[in-house]
Structure 1
Amino acid sequence: MKRKQIRKKRIFLLTVGCLGLALFFSVKKGRPVRAQEVSYALSAAQEKEESNKIHNHVFIGTVDVSGMTAEEARGAVQAYVNQLSGDKVTLVNKDTGEKLTLTAGDFGLSWKDPDMVEYAVELGKRGNAVSRYKAIKDLNASGEHLPLSLSVDSEEIAGTLQEKCASFVSPAVNFGLKRVGSSFEITEGRAGYEIDEKKAEEAIRTALTKNWTGGDDTEIPLSVVKEEPKGNRESLEQVKDVLGTFTTSYATSGAARCKNIANGCRLINGATIYPGEEFSTLKAISPFTEANGYELAGSYLNGTVVESFGGGICQVSTTLYNACLKSELEIKQRQNHSMIVNYVKPSMDAAIAESSGKDFRFVNNTDAPIYIEGSTVGKSITFTIYGCEKRDPNREVSYESETLQTIDPVGVQVTMDATKPAGFARVTQSAHTGYKAQLWKVVKENGQQVSREVINHSSYMPAKKILTVGTAGANPASLEQLKAAVATGDEATITQAAGALASAPQTPEQTPLAAAQAAVVAANAQAQAAVQSGDPNAIAAAQAAQAQAAAALAAAQAGTQ
């Protein structure tokens, strides 16, 4: 009870003190103040302090949030921002004057500082009674206009510029050449335009976040970068001479490989390359997909031949490589195949592989444009490179392949295929001889050799012949015999053992006979290997094994009669 009396006394004294101060300041200013006015102001201050609502005459941006709770004010301001997001914004191409109308929401317009609501709620409620009284008085007199901060999203701006401003963008089209009969036609170039995305974002951000109040009359000029086309008629008129040409044959290729070669040739044909410009064969002819015109055909992979989309495409890059060599263009990237190919000599090939990044790249190191003409006729592919010939007509360039080492494949690789019937035996990949080679560039002037240099080194791995053997339906004893034959590495022995699988009995009572037959094949294989080794002891042991196997076979045959 005593505490309550003390508290009431303090409140009374505080109130009296505040009234006194208010009266003092009012009198000092020369205006008499009624006690009723001061009492009312203090009462209002106390009421607002206890309230969770925003005082009257408070605005966030242009939104009047007077008398609202924080939640209500937040909703009102957000509704206004949502309305702004739907307002129209017109982008203007500075170069052409073209206009594109979008909305502010397309650029990710949002309310940057929702915490401003909490500040609005606290207005007139901070400090002691006197300061609160003065704050409320000022609010009643002139109100409070708090800033509404807006922001835009960089990613949404970039996405909108790319997706919706396509009409502002166009790639440059270079002057080009078109082969018509035995002459060239020049195709006109066209300037290209690109939006300067950095400047565009700055312009959009400034327009929509610096005191923007909406409306449908907002226009934002965008900077557009102009890209001039490469080339001109004067430079292209120089292209008249054959700099180099080369042809390879694919007469033994199947239909799918033929189609792949023709498709790759088509994708390169007609390329115009300007001085100093680099050409990537891989970029020009990939991806190797059905949608891009390719079919499944044989290609090299880790020393084996596999089916892949675009199989045979390396003959395209190889033919182009040799045409570039004859034209003496600058070679930037060239790799040989993993195994030797049969359509050019060693070191004259150029492999392409999308998975490993193998590419054939070259640079037009002449001072005039060059034009690549590609054609396929009668299962032959030809590339001819045209340009402006400035080399001495008495100068002759040729290339010589030199084999440094030949590496013969040893043995045969056997693949046991459970999907093929017992007795099936077929060579599914021929053997490939390995080579180490290099390519010489030879230059003659007036018939006399003036230079000779090595321009590349190549290494081709040997690959064993692959023999696929069927094992479906074979009994365990026969399979063991086949494995013994495979261990010899001799193709004839393996083929014989594979053939024996077909005639080998499958019933339990015939198993001894099958085992005896397998033992004979194994003994014969052992004998053959011993003879090849030239070791007398091995030969004697093999002969003994043959005799023992023959006796066992005779006994087994007698037991089945």
Structure 2
Amino acid sequence: MTRKAKRKDIRRQKWRSALAVLALSIPILLVAGLDLGLFAIEIGDRPVREDKEGNLRANDRQLKEAFELVTLLEFYPGVYVDDIHLGGMTREQGIEAIQENAMNFLSKIHIELEARDEIFEITGADLGASYNISDAVNEAWQQGRTARNPDIEQQILRRYQEIQALLTTPFKTEGSFDYDRDYMRQAIEAKLAAATVAPIPAKATAFDVATGSFTIAEKIDGIQPDVDKAVDDVMALLDTGEFRGKIKVDMETLDAGMTAAEMSSNLGLVAQASTPIMTMDAGRNQNLRRASQTMSGIIVNPGEIFSYLQALGPITTANGYDMGSVLLSDGSYDEALGGGLCQPSTTLFQAAFKANLQIVERYNHGRRSIYHEYGTDAMVSSPGADFRLRNNTDYPIAIVGIFTESNMIYRIYGKPLPAGETIGFSVRKIADVEPGPDVEKLDESLAPGTKQLTQAAVPGSTWQTFKVFYRNGVEYYRELTFTSYYQAYPAYYKVGPKPVATAAPTAAPTAAPTAAPTAAPTAAPELPAPVEEAPAP
């Protein structure tokens, strides 16, 4: 062996010692994330040789280059993600560059949706987009790092060979956009909402009280964008890699429901109720008559709420109302403008109850009136306590009020109950309430000590009201609907002032009578002093 050869062997041994150290150092370098900044080193273009046994052979320069390259914690030259050359960047720098590019890309997205001759713009913010670069970055990072060999020198040379190949055959990959379809749908639906024309159902516009018939306006179907199809079309465009374009949105019809003819054919009398006129109070009867007039022909379309007080209008003499009897808070009665209007509200409540309409607001009286049973009344007081109902059917309803000398009548027209079915009341008392102590009120006009009954005591009670369903006269279902509390009222008395106490009369003085003269008394004989005897033995 020549001296020159010995020097070469010595250098080879030094490199192998360094490689052994490298084998232990690479994991430490990777964990520490060192940036050695060695890309100033040029990658040789002369390929390493492979011997007959398949092992790679390299000269000292190539081995030195290989050693320095495989220790780099940077992307190698020739590695691209989204056409961004990552060579010379650390992993973190590469990720930042890719993400910045993706954000710039999203900002350029501009898709136009055309609906009903209007343009609605969709941007990247509407797509619920997220850019998935994890797989692309991992794959790019592995370029030049995949070779494995038990021999550390061979592994380094194999990796060096991979790195050299990237110069002539670059590695290119792409990240992928992921879209949140639900988010995108909500955004597109909100944008296209302005293109929707809501349907207008057939609707009652008038009611003829004399014939009991409705006038029905024809329905108008609506139109709305097919949002799901629009989302599919946007997704399809994005999948082609196009991020700008124009999409014509399909429109679909919104059916407004039944026709006017279909609605009319299903309308008729639903239910009615009647309460007796029990007084000859002209003012009160005028109020009942006026209430029937103001409400006859009122239409309540599906979903609408009817207010009794609102239907009455202002309770004034100018509006046709008069003085009538009203129940006061103490259980007594007095005259007031609009007195008696609780009877029409009670009658209407009973009709609505039998028509199975939804009762929104209802109050019972503080005391039962003579024209209704317990638990079947609806007290009103303006302002404040109202009677309200909701049309909870799919058809219009109309209200008709009728006043006669003997009865207050209300009828409900709309979709009749199924053939053979009726609804009625059933009430049950669940508690009695005893009146409180008598109440006395001083009346100076009464004679002292006088006590007059002005209002008899009234017991109170609590009642449950059940809605009972009948089929051909036979009950098949019932439900508790209301609980009514009727107050107890004490007896009321007027009392006169308390009697004033007076002194007993004094008799006039009279002369004392003169006694007749009598003889001087004779002294009584002196009796001997008593002698105390000793007791017998």
Task: Give CA deviations for 1:76-112 in whole Å, capped at 9, x if unaligned.
Answer: 222222223222022355xx67642220221222212
Indicate conservation of the 8 Å contact 1:174/1:230, yes or no: yes
**Change over 3 Å in CA distance of 1:438–1:202 after alignment to 2:** closer
Indicate conservation of the 8 Å contact 1:174/1:229, yes or no: yes
Which residue is 1:188 aligned to?
218
* C-alpha distance in structure 2 between counterparts of 1:68 and 1:381, whole Å: 91
> 410, 428, 446: which one pairs with 2:434?
410
Deviation at 1:44, TM superposition (A): 4.5
> Which one-letter code corresponds to 1:101 in the other structure?
E
> 10, 18, 22: which one pairs with 2:48?
22
Pairing 1:96-495 to 2, within 5 Å after superposition: 99-114=119-134, 116-127=136-147, 128-154=155-181, 156-179=183-206, 184-193=214-223, 201=231, 203-208=233-238, 210=239, 212=241, 214=243, 216-217=244-245, 219=247, 225-238=252-265, 241-245=268-272, 270-272=299-301, 284-285=304-305, 319=348, 322-323=351-352, 325=354, 345-346=373-374, 348=376, 370-374=395-399, 384-386=412-414, 405=429, 407-410=431-434, 412=436, 432-435=460-463, 451=473, 453=475, 456=478, 460-461=484-485, 463=487
Indicate conservation of the 8 Å contact 2:207/2:299, yes or no: no
**Change over 3 Å in CA distance of 1:54–1:13 after alignment to 2:** closer
Task: Give CA deviations for 1:385-435 in whole Å, capped at 9, x if unaligned.
Answer: 1458998xxx9x99876665484312559xxxxxxxxxxxxxxxx985323
Determine whether 1:62 maps to 2:83. yes
- In terms of Rg, which structure is larger? 2
Which residue is 2:326 aligned to?
none
Deviation at 1:132, TM superposition (A): 1.3
* C-alpha distance in structure 1 between counterparts of 2:262 and 2:84, whole Å: 65
TM-score normalized by structure 1? 0.49
**Change over 3 Å in CA distance of 1:462–1:140 after alignment to 2:** same
**Change over 3 Å in CA distance of 1:408–1:175 after alignment to 2:** same
* C-alpha distance in structure 2 between counterparts of 1:35 and 1:436, whole Å: 104
**Change over 3 Å in CA distance of 1:323–1:14 after alignment to 2:** closer
Task: Give CA deviations for 1:140-188 in whole Å, capped at 9, x if unaligned.
Answer: 1221112211112345324313432212434332122211666644323
Task: Give CA deviations for 1:470-491 in whole Å, capped at 9, x if unaligned.
Answer: xxxxxxxxxxxxxxxxxxxx89
Q: How many residues align?
A: 367
Structure 1 unaligned spans of 5+ = 253-260, 274-282, 287-311, 352-358, 414-429, 444-449, 466-489, 497-561
**Change over 3 Å in CA distance of 1:464–1:222 after alignment to 2:** farther
Indicate conservation of the 8 Å contact 2:126/2:188, yes or no: no
Secondary structure (helix, strand or coil) at the match of 1:217 reads strand
Determine whether 1:51 maps to 2:106. no
* C-alpha distance in structure 1 between counterparts of 2:378 and 2:477, whole Å: 13
Percentage of matched positions with identical amino acids? 14
Which residue is 1:528 aligned to?
none
**Change over 3 Å in CA distance of 1:247–1:70 after alignment to 2:** farther
Deviation at 1:244, TM superposition (A): 3.8
Indicate conservation of the 8 Å contact 2:273/2:347, yes or no: no
Deviation at 1:230, TM superposition (A): 0.6
**Change over 3 Å in CA distance of 1:190–1:125 after alignment to 2:** same
| Greater helix fraction, Structure 1 or Structure 2 | 1
Which residue is 1:553 aligned to?
none
> Which one-letter code corresponds to 1:385 in the other structure?
Y
* C-alpha distance in structure 2 between counterparts of 1:66 and 1:317, whole Å: 89
Secondary structure (helix, strand or coil) at the match of 1:177 reads strand
* CA RMSD, Structure 1 to Structure 2 (Å): 5.9
**Change over 3 Å in CA distance of 1:78–1:332 after alignment to 2:** same
> Which one-letter code corresponds to 2:168 in the other structure?
A
Task: Give CA deviations for 1:6-56 in whole Å, capped at 9, x if unaligned.
Answer: 6544458999xxx9993237999xxxx9978x945x555434323333222
* C-alpha distance in structure 1 between counterparts of 2:157 and 2:346, whole Å: 90
**Change over 3 Å in CA distance of 1:135–1:339 after alignment to 2:** farther
* C-alpha distance in structure 2 between counterparts of 1:13 and 1:404, whole Å: 100
Deviation at 1:459, TM superposition (A): 5.2
Secondary structure (helix, strand or coil) at the match of 1:134 reads helix
* C-alpha distance in structure 2 between counterparts of 1:14 and 1:330, whole Å: 92
Task: Give CA deviations for 1:282-312 in whole Å, capped at 9, x if unaligned.
Answer: x6449xxxxxxxxxxxxxxxxxxxxxxxxx9
Secondary structure (helix, strand or coil) at the match of 1:159 reads helix
* C-alpha distance in structure 1 between counterparts of 2:133 and 2:265, whole Å: 65
> Which one-letter code corresponds to 2:90 in the other structure?
T
Secondary structure (helix, strand or coil) at the match of 1:408 reads strand
* C-alpha distance in structure 2 between counterparts of 1:381 and 1:205, whole Å: 64
Indicate conservation of the 8 Å contact 1:333/1:360, yes or no: yes
Indicate conservation of the 8 Å contact 1:337/1:350, yes or no: yes
Structure 2 unaligned spans of 5+ = 1-10, 23-43, 148-154, 278-282, 285-290, 307-340, 380-387, 438-457, 496-537
> Which one-letter code corresponds to 2:83 in the other structure?
T
**Change over 3 Å in CA distance of 1:400–1:144 after alignment to 2:** closer
**Change over 3 Å in CA distance of 1:345–1:13 after alignment to 2:** closer
